Amino acid sequence: MRKVSYLPLWHLLLERGMTKSQMRIEAGLTTNVLANMNKGQHISMESLIRICDALDCELKDAVELVKTEE
């Protein structure tokens, strides 16, 4: 089984000197979406596209699939 990891996005934000809150505002996301991301939960594809548009990056720069041991 695999799960979604937002680690690439968190690294990208660090590289750009941007906070998660700044990214949330730029992408027009709700606080609930950001909270779900912080918990490693799924968010909608629409939200991921908004993030990629706001940061001018590709989906692979924001998320990755990681294997779990379940």
Give, in order, the Cα–Cα distances in Å from 31 to each of 2, 12, 22: 25, 20, 11
Give, in order, the Cα–Cα distances in Å from 22 to each of 1, 18, 31, 65: 32, 6, 11, 25
The per-residue pLDDT for 61 is 97
Written as tens digits, the pLDDT of the chain (70 aa) is 889 999 999 999 999 999 999 999 999 999 999 999 999 999 999 999 999 999 999 999 999 999 988 6
Strand partners, 65: 4
The per-residue pLDDT for 49 is 97
pTM for the model: 0.91
The per-residue pLDDT for 15 is 97
Domains present along the chain, CATH in parentheses: 2-67 (1.10.260.40)
